[in-house]
Amino acid sequence: MNIALIAHDKKKNDLVQFATAYKALFSEHTLYATGTTGLRISEATGLTIHRFQSGPLGGDQQIGAMIAKNDMDAVFFFRDPLTAQPHEPDVSALMRLCDVYAIPLATNMGTAEVLIKGIEQGLVEWRNLRKESKGDSNAEERI
């Protein structure tokens, strides 16, 4: 699976701790992250992570582009709902794309725990059906 890891500044430590706790599981998948978040997780865990730009510089949009191409399977986006973000429209667009393309999205530790357990138990294998039907214009209607 292709998994995105994103965190606002005040939530980066939480995501690093989460990735450390589930390092073995994450090591079985292809990981993508926005700039600083990816660097911090990689340094803490040794995981291989494809790093995009930082969120405010377009990293959220780069991950959004993968979602729009059906090339992302899950997103862990630890958001800080109490701090205004300069790139809030990008954040909203990324979340909307997850909804449009039925990409599982965890925005806090609670939903992240549920999603990671689902991945661990194979409960998101339906994503493979979406990938297999990629390019088929009627695939969205059948799934």
Six token digits for residue 89: 């429209």
Q: Are the CB atoms for 99 and 69 separated by under 8 Å?
A: no
Active site residue 14: no
CA dist 15 and 76 (Å) reads: 8
Q: Residue 99: helix, strand or coil by DSSP? A: helix
CA dist 116 and 72 (Å) reads: 15
Active-site choice (60, 73, 99, 136): 60
Enumerate the active-site residues: 60
